Each structure stands twice: as C-alpha cells, then as structure tokens.
Amino acid sequence: MLRESAAATSIPLDARAITDPSIDPLVPAGRSLLAFVDAALSGEDLSGTRANLAAELGWDGTVAAAAVIGNFEMMNRIADAIGMPVSPGGLARTEEWRALLGLDRFRH
C-alpha cells in the first residue's frame, strides 16, 4: 500500500528506509515518523522523539501516527496468531519489493 499511495499522491519515496534507518524515506516528516515508530515499540522513553514529531506534524498528526502504530500492532498479532497466508498473486505482485526490503526472511 505504501507504493500505491506514494504513486497516487506523487510523493517521492525511498522504501528502503523501512528496513534501513540510514536512508531518508523522502516522505514529509518521514525520518521523524520512523523514529517515532522505533521508539514507540522499543519500550523505552519516547518523549524526545514524540516532541520532534509533534514539532513537525502537531499533536493531531502525532496522535494519527500513534493510532496507525496501534492498528498494525493489532493486525500483526492477528496475522501471526492465525497464520495468515499470502496468496500466490500477492507474492507475485510484491516480488520486487520483497527483494528490495528483504521481507522474505519473515514467515508468510
């Protein structure tokens, strides 16, 4: 979905940033968003990264980002718990990105 949304909105994107923190994702506030996710899931203090994100996106944007993290914490657990299969068509469509991001190391 990231690939489709970036294309549909003409937003530049370097998807390698999803798995390589040294790369700028090019999405507006992208570095701050990635840092916020990392901090939120690390269990450590995230007041600094949250303040940095709020400085770029405001409190409402920070809440929206936190909500997306919450949603995918939910969806990932459901997928893992029930052994969500990936269809052959889905594997074919994502072949290039799976290779780019190294996603095949995850069970699917």
Could you say whether residue 29 binds another protein (CB under 8 A)?
yes
Could you say whether residue 52 binds another protein (CB under 8 A)?
no
Q: At what angle do helices 47-82 and 30-42 cross, to 10 degrees?
A: 70
Shortest gap between Cβ of 44 and another protein (angstroms)?
11
Among 22, 87, 92, 96, binds another protein (CB under 8 A): 87
Could you say whether residue 67 binds another protein (CB under 8 A)?
yes
Among 16, 24, 34, 95, binds another protein (CB under 8 A): 34
Among 55, 93, 96, 107, binds another protein (CB under 8 A): 107
Asked if 34 and 24 count as a contact pair (C-beta separation under 8 A), the reply is: no
Whose tokens are 């995850």? That residue is 106
Q: What span, in angstroms and rounded, lies between the C-alpha atoms of 39 and 56?
A: 17
Tell me the C-alpha to C-alpha distance, in Å, between residue 35 and each of 47, 66, 80. Answer: 11, 12, 24
Asked if 50 and 62 count as a contact pair (C-beta separation under 8 A), the reply is: yes
Could you say whether residue 99 binds another protein (CB under 8 A)?
no
Residues of the shown chain interacting with another protein in the complex, contacts defined by CB under 8 A: 1-2, 4-9, 11, 13, 15, 17-19, 25, 27-30, 33-34, 36-38, 40-41, 46-47, 50, 57, 59-87, 101, 103, 105-108
